[in-house]
Amino acid sequence: MRKLSIIGMPMDLGQMRRGVDMGPSAIRYAGVNERLQTLFDEVKDLGDIAIGRPEVRVDKESNLRNLDLIAEKTAKLAEKVDEVIQSGSFPLVLGGDHSIAIGTLAGVSRHYQNLGVIWYDAHGDLNTAETSPSGNIHGMPLAVSIGLGHPLLTNIGGFQPKVKPENIVLIGARSLDEGERALIKEKGIRVYTMHEIDRLGMTKVMEETIQYLKERTDGVHLSLDLDGLDPTDAPGVGTPVNGGISYRESHLAMEMLAESDIVTSAEFVEVNPILDEKNKTASVAVALMGSLFGEKLL
């Protein structure tokens, strides 16, 4: 029996632009439940993790914005994701800014010896307090997940790292900070920038990604930031970067992942309806979920 559980994570504490906390609502409004019900035997919407309306706080020591709150809320998400997997259901998390991945990965990685991660994003999200230009934690979740960063974040779930650097594939990168570039080289993280996508084509990129992860992992988490797509296709994101992956290339990537059957958990993040055009970005997210979970035209 194929089961899916949807968890909303309406958190905007990892960055400065308000509105991304409405992402889960926008995705639901775009018909995610109805779309996925045809692809699973059971779809349960577990509602949202309670975030409240906390005030912005900057940690004096580390200069990180909302550190305590993000640690607290992502720990709750980790518990919920853990419960979903234990119940034999596929966890699908709706964001929220990308700092939520700290919680998702903490919950998922308890269940795998060698978790793989596909990070579909314009950014590397590999900053630490030392390298971050902004102090925004949504630029740090991948670094946190490999065990680099503030202990309040890296130790969520009581263990670290959540994922090994060699089990990560970044797809769509086109905006990397200096510290992130150095870390990618130092840790040997596999990256397909827009240059590789243009040069090789999405088919080749996905074939290589799937083969690479199949050989070394026992489960794969997809973390898809809508800003991985070009802003013409997904305008409702907080940090758009021109020259991104097209709508059609993204569908192809999801369709190939569906065929490979390697993805064991997923999250779709950074949908900001305040910055969107008629809920276009949330609708794109839902359409891509359809492809990821095996929707076919014929």
Residue 271's pLDDT is 98
pLDDT tens per residue across span 9-53: 999 998 888 899 999 999 999 999 999 999 999 999 999 999 988
Question: How many beta carbons lie within 10 A of that of residue 212, not counting itself?
Answer: 15
Active-site residue, from 230, 270, 276, 295: 270
pTM of the complete model beyond 0.95: yes
Looking at per-residue pLDDT, the higher value among 18 and 82 belongs to 82
Calculate what percentage of the chain has a pLDDT beyond 70: 100
- Residue 221 a catalytic site member: no
Active-site residue, from 121, 267, 276, 295: 121
Domain boundaries, the chain: 3-292
- Residue 195 a catalytic site member: no
Average pLDDT (117-126) is: 98
Active-site residue, from 97, 180, 227, 276: 227
Backbone conformation region of residue 252, classed left if phi is above 0, alpha if psi is from -120 to 50, else beta: alpha
- Residue 121 a catalytic site member: yes
Contact 219, 90 (CB under 8 A): no
Active-site residue, from 48, 123, 221, 251: 123
Contact 120, 253 (CB under 8 A): yes
Helix (H, G, I), strand (E, B) or coil at 271: coil
Active-site residue, from 12, 82, 97, 138: 138
User: Nearest to residue 187, comparing CAs of 167, 160, 211?
Assistant: 167
Active-site residue, from 98, 150, 221, 251: 98
- Has residue 298 got a pLDDT over 90? no
Residue 58's pLDDT is 85
Contact 170, 123 (CB under 8 A): no
Mean pLDDT check: name the lowest of 13-22, 219-228, 254-263.
13-22
Q: What distances in angstroms separate CA 187 from CA 7, 93, 123, 143, 216, one per listed residue?
A: 32, 27, 17, 11, 16
Active-site residue, from 21, 82, 225, 276: 225
pLDDT tens per residue across span 122-144: 999 999 989 998 889 999 999 99
- Residue 123 a catalytic site member: yes
pLDDT tens per residue across span 144-174: 999 999 999 999 999 999 999 999 999 999 9
Average pLDDT (94-112) is: 98
Top CATH class of 3-292 equals alpha beta
Mean pLDDT, all residues of the chain: 96
- Residue 125 a catalytic site member: yes
Active-site residue, from 125, 267, 276, 295: 125
- Residue 225 a catalytic site member: yes
